[in-house]
Chain A
């Protein structure tokens, strides 16, 4: 589904990603771990199409298409979804009307019929239940004054509504209490199927007790320095990232 080859990315002339290789197949969950500043969020934003990041080398192929040729919104309509590390507050736009706008633009692009207000409300209520989100939040301004947990749940709600093919979760677990973490993880697990894929970016191994990854990669100083199965995550939790650093130093 997704093939990243020797991806190099810079921002304001500073190289952040220094040759990333990653192969994600349908039905898989990949976890990307790494210390702060290793380039995890940069990778997430580049996949979503943030324009400030300059791709200086390599390629990203998504469903046999050159992903780098697509605009941010085109990628979304092609089924890519980024759950933000810091969801943006947008006063004046209710969550419900925002989701109606976005879902209909995505459906239109897929050649599906747009939903009317009644169908939309039904769908939103159903999905809100999935993430145990108070329906009152739907009629409030998007993320405006939401708690950290509510914001993250709103991200998962949007993901559930848009039903992406490739979802990238950028530190969705950071700052969540155990209840919120469980709700967010269950939301993801229910959406998971053999036709879609997830890239879960996290700083903490804890999330991976809830969302079980098929592959775990360690990103360090702009490169994937180690890959393995879920046991790698446990190892990282035990030994910390210094272990990786030491291992790299000896090489």
Chain B
């Protein structure tokens, strides 16, 4: 008798397989490309993998059933105009702009402009053809195709329009590289699998802005993103993520960062949209003297579900990490924070700070927070904490007694609560946009 447990997502996987076959038929000549071999490996691998269920500790609070239920199709192109793009530019900030129309790179609307000497921005397929960084790229793609993560395998199965960025040693990329994902539903529900592989060499300096936007706030789609960032010694890298997807959409966004000696990685993650969003942000420290900053803000209203999982592995001495996530949960929304920091035995002189603070504004809103700090070294400075609270009535009364109406007083206090995180953003034009996005969200 067959005793294999039934796969809850068998139907979903069968659907993905069918979708893959359609996708493959449309490829024509590109079937011979080495990347397609990896896609086939990935879709094959997906059959053996399980999408996470409730028994998986890391997914306990975030059920993926809803994400995997829709019968996703390939994305059709939306009718994008330059006005759509202009509405998403940052006033007073020059950028290297890449526009993605429902996941597909739009060459006409993009404006990469002049890049510093040696900097490469291309599709992953083109980079593989060119061959210079073939081994490294293939290594990452293989990891996604053959690993244990069903979402990574799904991503690799439909890999298309993946992005490769290379910053040579000692090069400062002055203007941020702006990846603008406009997801205006043209064919609902659709599947979107962005990929990015970023190699930033020794003593380079680069900023990436990753933004997802759906102004109409409707339409069902699933953005399943994988990002790999490899930082050389002494490299300095800043990563902004501004997420304002449709309230009917889903996002699983996974970022893995490798940090060499003395490198700095800073993440600013702002999550405002999405029906269900799951972020996995992981950094792997490869040597001493590194600095890792994880800053996050999430605002969940209605029936939104926003989940942040972070992981910092201190394996070498003299490394520093700061982590500050703040969220506001209202209505029937749910927030999840699970931050894990490991300080291994050899990681002496580690400074690791982690804090997650939340405002829960309604009886039906839920926040699950789990800051985890595991320390095996003895000469370290570490702290972690989590708070869940409400708006202070005395503060509301104080503000109202000065003439602010109830809504304005509440909104001001919520913004003040988040300010401690936002003020870490060094690029003012981005910070201003984020502040106004947050204000709008509070007022919606």
Contacts and interface: CB of A to CB of B under 8 A. Distances in A.
Given A101-B408, A105-B408, A90 B395 contact: yes
A84 B399 CA distance: 11
A24 to B, nearest CB: 19
A109 B399 CA distance: 16
Contacts of B363: none
A49 B401 contact: yes
B403 A90 contact: no
Contacts of B415: 92-93
A169 interface: no
A65 interface: no
Given A87-B398, A101-B408, A105-B408, A92 B403 contact: no
Contacts, number: 74
Interface in A58-96: 71-73, 75-77, 81-82, 84, 87-88, 90-93
A30 B344 CA distance: 68
Contact of B394 (A82, A88, A92, A158): A88
A74 to B, nearest CB: 8
B416 A73 contact: no
Nearest to B395: A88
A102 B408 CA distance: 10
A92 B420 contact: yes
A93 B409 CA distance: 11
B242 to A, nearest CB: 21
11 contacts: A50-B397, A72-B401, A76-B403, A88-B395, A90-B398, A98-B402, A98-B412, A102-B403, A102-B404, A105-B408, A141-B416
A50 B398 CA distance: 10
A162 B402 contact: yes
Given A72-B397, A90-B398, A77 B416 contact: no
Interface residues of A, number: 29
Interface string A45-56: 000111100000
Contacts of A51: 397
B402 A76 contact: yes
B358 to A, nearest CB: 15
- 5 tightest A-B contacts by CB? A92-B416, A76-B403, A92-B419, A72-B400, A88-B398
B402 A102 contact: yes
Contacts of B408: 101, 105
A106 interface: yes
A120 to B, nearest CB: 15
Contact of B406 (A73, A84, A102, A106): A73
Contact of A73 (B395, B400, B412): B400
A76 B401 contact: yes
Contacts of A48: 397, 401
A217 B123 CA distance: 81
Contacts of A73: 400-401, 403-406, 409
B434 to A, nearest CB: 15
A73 B420 CA distance: 27
Interface string B351-364: 00000000000000
